[in-house]
Structure 1
């Protein structure tokens, strides 16, 4: 494998490894969502979940359907994708150094020049080892490659870091209107369905009211999410919930569920 290409790490586990099967699944998820109404203001960011597509895909598709409808109006050129690290410890924020990331649907180019620009302005480390087996960002590729295949990617893993640091990065990215920001995060983990409903309702209210004090029990991507909420509050933006379900609502047992939410920031 070319060292400048990050190969898919969770194909065959979180989503089908077969290109036709993967395309069929994404197309099915997207076609199940009715065309949304356009927003009254420019779309600045979305929050999307990152579990196996049969579990979180129906929720993620709500956000990606909105992005698909909005793309022709906003002319994005790159997507800055922020999410948590599950596989390896990470303090701060980390980018990768490959030229492309791949999925069964093909390669997605990394905007290396913009990544380097961010590294000169913020404390970002270059850690391809932390990215190599991480799923939180990779599972977004099949959706992005389906609806906006022309976009370049800027993947950023967000570990232990102050909300202010993440907010500053997001606000800097928003200065360029060709940037779309995506935050990858699930909600509560491994509670009975009824308890997850209660916990996720509290979390969702905090997200909708831009309360940047989420904790690890509420969302695995809470560091990135808190940064988005702080940035949105400072910029006078709104965040609305597009969909909220659990794995018990989509494809799993209700004994222990994972919560998923899709949100739009505009």
Structure 2
């Protein structure tokens, strides 16, 4: 049997039962009104990675853009998320051949990972992926809106803007490739302070400021590199939703910020 990266946070961050998970994702997507379904499909999205009760409604604003589009069909997803459990120097690729959620297995694009073999910032580490939730929580949304696709999963640790951007350039592809950057925003601040900081962070992202720090976004290393690549390719950023856990399912004493941002190709 091929090596499988099994779900680690099912039943914690999202439902473990397939039917309940499908229903929760569908409810999140159904709550989004897409004002202009004919807009160009995003090439790159930033989506949060907390438990679905906290951030699912925000993440759905990015994934709804994909759910409403029929063409072109995305066949490969490049997924970057920050390392929470293990120290990673550079970007960690798995040896696993598929990633599993309650909705099924997603095959890893082994050829794409092999194409990164000459880049010194890319290392191999199943351990970096084993308990990491930042990538996993994106998968049920992707499985729901895309159906069948291959995955290029990379956990981003201590990596420079240039190092991340170089990997993205190698994986950029064409319309068959979607890039997903998994990141929350500020962490454990009072509600109003978090709102102010997150608004400022989003403005920096919309302005292609690739100097974000981890206290502004836990996925800052991945975001910074993505901003460098997105600017190079002429993508246009658009804020879809910005809230925090005090708006969704938590108290307002210590909140976590969530943003959904799309980067679209210009005519």
Coarse TM-score class (shorter-chain normalised): over 0.9
Contact 1:36–1:65 (Cα < 8 Å) also in 2:
no
Are positions 1:220 and 2:231 aligned together?
Answer: no
Q: Whole-Å Cα distance in 2 between the matches of residues 22 and 41 of structure 1? A: 28
Report how far residue 119 of structure 1 moved. Answer: 2.5
Q: Whole-Å Cα distance in 2 between the matches of residues 61 and 144 of structure 1? A: 10
Contact 1:36–1:66 (Cα < 8 Å) also in 2:
no
Count of residues paired in the alignment: 264
| Structure 1 residues 182-261: aligned runs within 5 Å | 182-261=180-259
Q: Whole-Å Cα distance in 2 between the matches of residues 247 and 10 of structure 1? A: 19
- 2:107 corresponds in structure 1 to 109
Q: Whole-Å Cα distance in 1 between the matches of residues 160 and 121 of structure 2? A: 12
Q: Deviations over 1:33-72 (max 9, x none)?
A: 12341465552100000000110100000000002223x2
Report how far residue 240 of structure 1 moved. Answer: 1.2
Report how far residue 117 of structure 1 moved. Answer: 1.4
Q: Whole-Å Cα distance in 1 between the matches of residues 232 and 115 of structure 2? A: 23
Q: CA distance change for structure 1 residues 158 and 175 in 2, over 3 Å: closer, same or farther?
A: same
Q: Structure 1 stretch 174-183 or stretch 239-248: which is displaced more?
A: 174-183
| Structure 1 residues 53-64: aligned runs within 5 Å | 53-64=52-63
Q: Deviations over 1:224-250 (max 9, x none)?
A: 000011112222222111000000101
Report how far residue 122 of structure 1 moved. Answer: 5.8
Are positions 1:45 and 2:35 aligned together?
Answer: no
Contact 1:99–1:110 (Cα < 8 Å) also in 2:
yes
> What runs of 5+ residues in structure 2 fail to find an aligned partner?
none
Secondary structure of 1:44 counterpart: strand
Contact 2:42–2:65 (Cα < 8 Å) also in 1:
no
Q: Whole-Å Cα distance in 1 between the matches of residues 117 and 141 of structure 2? A: 27
- 2:179 corresponds in structure 1 to 181
| Structure 1 residues 116-155: aligned runs within 5 Å | 116-121=114-119, 123-155=121-153
Q: Whole-Å Cα distance in 2 between the matches of residues 177 and 168 of structure 1? A: 19
- 2:32 corresponds in structure 1 to 33
Q: Whole-Å Cα distance in 1 between the matches of residues 110 and 199 of structure 2? A: 38
Q: Structure 1 stretch 28-37 or stretch 11-20: which is displaced more?
A: 28-37
- 2:10 corresponds in structure 1 to 11
Report how far residue 123 of structure 1 moved. Answer: 3.1
Q: Deviations over 1:202-232 (max 9, x none)?
A: 1000011111110011000000000011112
Secondary structure of 2:74 counterpart: coil
TM norm structure 1: 0.95
TM norm structure 2: 0.95
Report how far residue 173 of structure 1 moved. Answer: 2.1
Q: Whole-Å Cα distance in 2 between the matches of residues 44 and 171 of structure 1? A: 13
Secondary structure of 2:137 counterpart: helix
